[in-house]
Structure 1
Amino acid sequence: MSLITDDPDRSPRDCVAARRHHSGRRRRRLLIVAASAVALLLAMAIILWLTLLPSSPRFRLLSATASTNATGGMGTVLLDAALVAHNPNAHALALYDGLRARASYAGLELAAAAPIPPFQQAQGDIVLSAALSSSSAAEETTAGGRSPTLLTLRLEGRLRWKVAVWVSSSRTLAAECVTAAISPSQPRAVVVQDCQCATTIG
């Protein structure tokens, strides 16, 4: 007969129960560690999400001047416009690519302006300029006695965000400004200034 234990008060059944108790404590400890790690990762994800989700840029039409180079009642419409791009984010750079202005003036579609070279913008304002013209002769739109002339200016391009070394994927950007000329009876029509544009990010 072999001696199983030298402690008469400790049976094999007591050893099994002790092992189960120890194993249960280790599982609880592992669960607490895993739950803490998940909570930490979730908190970091929320912080990153709040940091890396910048507010959309805003645009406004600072000024625009339209003129008609008329010959015998027909002419070419020339439009010079200045827009302000505003980045409201303190920690995110706005990266613009392929921005191009399109416009219609008095119902006439103007040829798209040359694309603006890619640039990046920190928090604050940047002034953008665009020069557009009609691609064919049109009836003079600034003759006296006409009602205020409608101008629609649309800025299209691509937008990315940069926070530290992280750069977001590219998204489509469109800003549309609709306003009316102040002086439709003059050879040069000054368009209403500081017109807010509707901005959409796709």
Structure 2
Amino acid sequence: MSLITDDPDRSPRDCATKRHHHHHHHSGGWRRRRLLIAASSGAASLLALCMILWLTLRPSAPRFTLLAATATPSNASTGGGLVRLDAALMAHNPNARAAALYDGLRARASYADFQLATAGPLPPFQQAQGDAVLSASLTSAAEASAEEAADGRSPALLRLRIEGRLRWKVAAWVSGGRTLAAVCVAVVAPSQLRTFVVQGTQCAITIE
């Protein structure tokens, strides 16, 4: 039996259409909520996995050692010119499962009150567990005499600073970049026109 009415808003066909529209709207809203819940759950699971991986394999900071350095006037024969510093450093990565990625490394130093800097950044490199030797050549912006640069009567203080970006790589995952600074301080004993740094000077590491 069907109900017949003169009111078009109360007709059976119109009521069926309204019920269908309400059901479709309800179904669409529930589908969007399900997608949102699934996306949120996936993001939370990925974040938790990254945190567990990081806490389990959290890398220890690398260590730097100033192996040796030689400061010389660029024109040693005449006893004058720019001060040139050649330095060798060792970078040590103590982590067995995390490789260290270095890029944008620059060296600057102060020696006998002269400021020295590298002409450009050192080449980027990836380091697995173990040691890697880096070399840097720095020059001063001001000229110095042989007496000032290397032939003084008292020891000079050398302060070498390496700055750059550090990232960690665990399997296919790579962390965000952090600022790395290694500061090496050594007392230099002058000897004629060349000055040699005592080997094995540990550097202080800062990671931000």
Cα gap change, 1:86 to 1:113, in 2 (>3 Å): farther
CA contact (8 A) 2:100 2:128 kept: yes
TM-score, normalised via structure 1 length? 0.72
What is the DSSP-based 3-state SS (H/G/I as helix, E as strand, rest coil) of the residue aligned with 1:135?
A: strand
Distance in 1 separating the partners of 2:93 and 2:119: 23
Residue from 137, 154, 162 that aligns with 2:161 = 154
CA contact (8 A) 1:101 1:113 kept: no
CA contact (8 A) 2:114 2:142 kept: no
Percent of matched pairs sharing the same residue: 67
Give the RMSD, CA atoms, in angstroms: 2.2
Matches within 5 A, 1:40-59: 47-59=52-64
Distance in 1 separating the partners of 2:52 and 2:117: 45
- Equivalent residue, structure 2, for 1:90: 96
- Equivalent residue, structure 1, for 2:204: 198
The reply on whether 1:117 has 2:123 as its aligned counterpart is yes
Residue from 69, 72, 76 that aligns with 1:67 = 72
- Equivalent residue, structure 1, for 2:22: none
Distance in 2 separating the partners of 1:45 and 1:165: 12
Cα offset for 1:45?
7.1
Distance in 2 separating the partners of 1:89 and 1:56: 9
TM-score, normalised via structure 2 length? 0.70
The reply on whether 1:165 has 2:157 as its aligned counterpart is no
Stretches of structure 1 lacking an aligned partner (at least 5 in a row)? 1-40
Deviations 1:16-71 (A, max 9, x none): xxxxxxxxxxxxxxxxxxxxxxxxx8x96774233342000000001101112358
Distance in 1 separating the partners of 2:97 and 2:119: 31
Stretches of structure 2 lacking an aligned partner (at least 5 in a row)? 1-44
- Equivalent residue, structure 1, for 2:39: none
CA contact (8 A) 1:102 1:113 kept: no
Whose helix proportion is higher, 1 or 2? Answer: 2
